[in-house]
């Protein structure tokens, strides 16, 4: 897993895309996780390399400041809708 600041992401977009080939790229804003970059195929398939959101944030020290649910029900989750 790769972690980049928003500034790094803006300056090194190509590097972020390359890193996403090997797993999620967490983008932070003011020290807190704000976005996750995935390849489109990983997003579509729910690739097994991609940990749950809670597991991913658990690996980031600043993420302890974010309240996350302990479990996420697959019944309540829905794919993002893009218009």
19-78 pLDDT, tens digit per residue, is: 999 989 999 999 899 999 999 988 888 754 555 666 666 666 655 555 555 555 555 556
User: Hey, is 29 helix, strand or coil?
Assistant: strand
Beta bridge partners of 28: 5, 33
The token duo for 15 is: 């590097």
48-67 burial, b at 16+ Cβ within 10 Å, e below that, comes to eebeeeeebbeebeebeeee
DSSP annotation of 31: T
Domains of the chain: 2-65 (3.40.1620.10)
pTM of the model: 0.56
Q: Which of 69, 71, 64, 9 is nearest to 35 (CA)?
A: 9
């Amino acid at each position: 897993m790769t972690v980049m600041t928003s500034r790094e992401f803006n300056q090194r977009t190509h590097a972020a895309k390359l890193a996403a080939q090997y797993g999620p790229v967490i983008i932070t804003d003011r020290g807190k996780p704000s976005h996750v970059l995935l390849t489109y195929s990983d997003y579509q398939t729910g690739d097994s390399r991609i940990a749950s959101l809670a597991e991913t944030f658990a690996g980031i020290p600043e993420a302890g400041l974010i309240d996350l649910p302990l479990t996420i029900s697959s019944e309540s989750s829905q794919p993002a809708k893009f218009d």
